[in-house]
Structure 1
Amino acid sequence: MRTAYSVETVRAAERALMARLPEGALMQRAAAGLAATCAQVLGRVYGSRVVLLVGSGDNGGDALYAGARLARRGAGVTALPLTPDRAHRGGLAALRRAGGTVADPAVAAEETIRRADLVMDGIVGIGGKGGLRADAARLAALAARSRAAVVAVDLPSGVEADSGEVRGAAVRADLTVTFGTHKPALLVDPAREYAGTVRLVDIGLDLPEEAELEALQHADVAALLPLPGPESDKYRRGVVGIAAGSARYPGAAVLAVSGALRGGAGAVRYVGPAASAVIARFPETLVSDKGPAKAGRVQAWVVGPGAGDEARSVAEVLKAEVPVLIDADGLRLADRGAVRRRSAPTLLTPHAGEAAALLGISREEVEGARLTAVRELAARYDATVLLKGSTTLVADPGGGPVRVNATGTPWLATAGSGDVLSGLSGSLLAAGLSPRDAGSTAAYLHGLAGRYAADGAPAGAHDVADALPEAWRDVRD
């Protein structure tokens, strides 16, 4: 599992470690890892041209010491300090001793960056807030237009480490070399797209057990997947109820059922006006026309996909004493008070537009501050929230680490994909997973299935559902 920690936690761990090490040793560790990674990017260090964009903090010191190491290996290294009188003195001295040069960015930046093979971004560290100032933004723009590989030191300058927000100009890196641990911005959009590939360098930080963010990996998901035992039958494995679809959107019901059938539960009960379409595609589905309250026993409900204005089913499902997933139209129709009063677990699965409507803000505000939005929704509804997007986030109402998932592909942005995810998540709920585990595991599998289904070309939601067994096997194997 990958983890990310807040700036405050990282700084506390750094202070504790520096108290046990000789002065400057921690920065040298970081610089050594940074230089080694840059050497790998360059391939041939001797004769290469490296430019350092240097700010006034320790981030700039890391860049200067790493540049000195590359200069000693024969690279032509030029530092462009934004505030020369405030740049790290020891780093500047080390660079000059190694044969590097220091130039005025106002005079030399354009030509120096144009000829560079690698540009190292050491402008702002993890404490930066807001976008870059004009002089730094100019250097970032020159780097973006150059042919050079752009390597960010710890975090791309201009993005906010704790929130993942980007409030102005920022460096767009091809590679980010981060020290000690991931920072939330490296895992959460919109900042994540500025980081490029992320390489973690271990510098010996002693970090607490509970992180700010968690990102599941194959082994973590494999440990959560429900597997039938010798005594299992369809009811012991769990039954998931699907209250979805309408005369206008019968396909939403079919797609939600398709996801549910591949999610580990033993049976799927369908309630709604699309029974004929569901049975035609999936004859193993148990159907009922008596409404959710009289459909029969289930271990979890999924309500809302394609429901239109069918508020009665949503109200009935919310009264059930089993875990409930609310998606799509169900999010609009569900009474907030009824959601908060539920004693059984609840999982909400909005996309950014739906989250904006629930919070009473704009979609742009949600997309620009996804961590803030998912936490606020979880607290406001006293429910677990899965906020869909390029990085899907799962937050519990009681706080704790937010789960983040990035296994998907842009091809998943297609009609009905979310219905498949809802059915899959609901099936995992019925199989006994907590809302947090069900949502994050489903998002992981759904993202993998999207990659397999697309394989570099457009894919429909039904293709994603059909690829779920392959994703499941990949994780298990």
Structure 2
Amino acid sequence: MRSAHTVAQVRAAETAAMRDVPDGVLMQRAAAGLAHAVLDYLGGGYGRRVLLLVGSGDNGGDALYAATLLCRRGVAVDALLLGSSHHEAGLEAMLAAGGRVVDSLEDVSVDVVVDAIVGIGGRPGLRPEAVAALDALAGIPVVAVDVPSGVGVDTGELDRPHVRADLTVTFGTHKVAHLVDPAAVASGAVHLVDIGLDLPLADVEAMQHADVAALLPRPDGNAQKYARGVVGVRAGSETYPGAALLCVAGASCGLAGMVRYVGHAADVVRQVHPEVVGEGRVQAWVVGPGGGDDAAGALEAALADDVPVVVDADALALVDGPFAVPTVLTPHAGELANMLGVERDEIEARPLEFARFAAERFDAVVLLKGRHTLIARPDGRVRVTTTGLPWLATAGAGDVLAGLIGALLAAGLEPWDAASVGSWVHGAAATEASGGGPIVAGDVAHALGGVLRSLL
């Protein structure tokens, strides 16, 4: 699991670690990791040119000590000092190794800028002198130290001037801003350096291949189709029969023992999926994709069965409070904005805040779709999906996802796990189907089997 800790958690872990190691060891570990990451990014040392933008925080010290190692590898290092104070020992070490301090950027030639302006303890935003320096260096690759300066470290928000990094080198653990958009976009690629911190359980995390594989349901030796779970789909309408097909395709991934379909598209569903049967007992329902005017009746009927339910698309407009059954809500930003009575741009600017708020308000797992999808549960814990690619933003992809989550619920996973695993697998299937090019929702559904086989 890739964990993302808050600033307070990191500071507490650093304080605890410093009781067991000599003074300055953590900074030297961070500096060594940063220097090696910069050298790798540059493709070597000798003849390369690096500019440090150095603020007054500890990450300024990390950068200055890293500069001493870069100088020893033949890198020409200049440092522009921003702010009123700096890490004196680090600055002396850099100068002794051959680095220079510059007062302006007029005659500076550089291959990479190292952003050490504001560390994790800084407030969001940048001072005018830092903004001016970044503007003067526009177009040059940036390596950020710990986090891109100016971002909301614990929120993932970008509401003030900030650095947009090509690479972020972080220490000890990922921070929320590395995983949660929109700040995750500003972080670029993220490289984690282990500096020996003992960290608590994080409230934000991103599942990895092994985590997903461990949670996937597997039939035992005595399995039969009903014991493996039956998922019901109430989706589609006379206007949108395709939504039913796509939702059933996601549910028919093989993780549940049977799929039942109830709705106006029954004939076309059975032509494409002859294994799908009609109404009967289920262990979970999926309601809403393409439901149109039928969504209200479909949701009422599904809730009457007193089993977990995935509420998607048209059925989301009917949600006004907690349900009496375990529930997964799967809105995109626009749908969540309508559910909460706010503007869409508010959701997109503060997705972590609103996903958590909605999960608490509706007492449900809320899967907020996006470039990095957030899966929040009512107690505030959140998982972030980092699989997938921009081509996944295509009509009908959410219908496939809803069906897949329903199958996982029917097979016995708890709502948070079902939504998290489903989102990860869905993103991985999109990447597999795409091969770097365009896809449609049906391609994602067809790729589910191969991804699941690789996990199992």
TM-score, shorter chain, exceeding 0.5: yes
Distance in 1 of aligned mates of 2:347 and 2:304 = 30
Q: Offset at 1:263?
A: 4.8
- 1:312 and 2:297 equivalent? yes
Q: State the alpha-carbon separation in 2 of the partners of residues 168 and 451 from structure 1.
A: 33
Counterpart of 1:299 (choices 283, 293, 296) is 283
Q: Deviations over 1:320-356 (max 9, x none)?
A: 311111000010023x23xx240x3111011111111
> By how many angstroms is 1:129 displaced?
2.6
Q: Which of 148, 162, 176 is equivalent to 1:156?
A: 148
Q: Is the 8 A contact 1:180 1:205 kept in 2?
A: yes
Alignment of 1:357-436 (within 5 A): 357-399=338-380, 401-436=381-416
> Which string of whole-angstrom CA distances, capped at 9 and with x for unpartnered residues, describes residues 246-305 of structure 1?
111111111000000005001111111111121121111112xxxxxxx31000000011
The amino acid that maps onto 1:382 is: D
Per-residue Cα deviation, 1:341-392 (whole angstroms, up to 9, x for no partner): 40x3111011111111111111111111111111001000001111111101
Structure 2 counterparts to residues 221-236 of structure 1, below 5 A: 221-236=212-227
Q: 2:119 aligns with which of 125, 140, 161?
A: 125
- 2:93 corresponds in structure 1 to 94
**1:241 is aligned to 2:235:** no
Q: Is the 8 A contact 1:144 1:172 kept in 2?
A: no
Amino acid corresponding to residue 245 of structure 1 in structure 2: G
Match of 1:51 in 2: 51
Residues 73 and 456 of structure 1: is their aligned pair in 2 closer, same or farther, counting only changes over 3 Å? closer
The 3-state SS of whatever aligns with 1:53 is strand
- Give secondary structure in 1 for the equivalent of 2:292: coil
Name the SS of the counterpart of 1:145 in structure 2: coil
Deviation at 1:131, TM superposition (A): 2.2
Aligned pair count?
A: 455
Q: 1:441-460, aligned counterparts within 5 Å?
A: 441-460=421-440
**Structure 2: which 5+ runs fail to align?**
none
1:334-373 → structure 2 map (5 Å cutoff): 334=319, 336-337=320-321, 340-342=322-324, 344-373=325-354
Identity %: 57
Unaligned runs of 5+ in 1: 288-294
* Secondary structure of the structure 1 residue equivalent to 2:454: helix
> Which secondary structure does the structure 2 equivalent of 1:162 belong to?
coil
Aligned-partner SS, 1:69: helix
| Partner of residue 32, structure 1 | 32
Q: Secondary structure at the match of 1:309?
A: helix
Letter in 1 for 2:52: L
Structure 1 residues 156 and 110, CA, compared in 2 at 3 Å: closer, same or farther? Answer: farther
- Please list, as runs of the form range in 1=range in 2, the aligned pairs for 1:316-327 lying within 5 A after superposition: 316-327=301-312
Do structure 1's residue 74 and structure 2's residue 50 form an aligned pair? no
**Shift in Å, 1:474:** 2.3
Question: Separation in 2 of the partners of 1:349 and 1:23?
Answer: 48
TM-score between the two structures when normalised by the length of structure 2: 0.97
1:291 is aligned to none
* Secondary structure of 1:26 counterpart: helix
After the TM superposition, which parts of structure 1 deviate over 6 Å for at least 4 consecutive aligned residues?
none
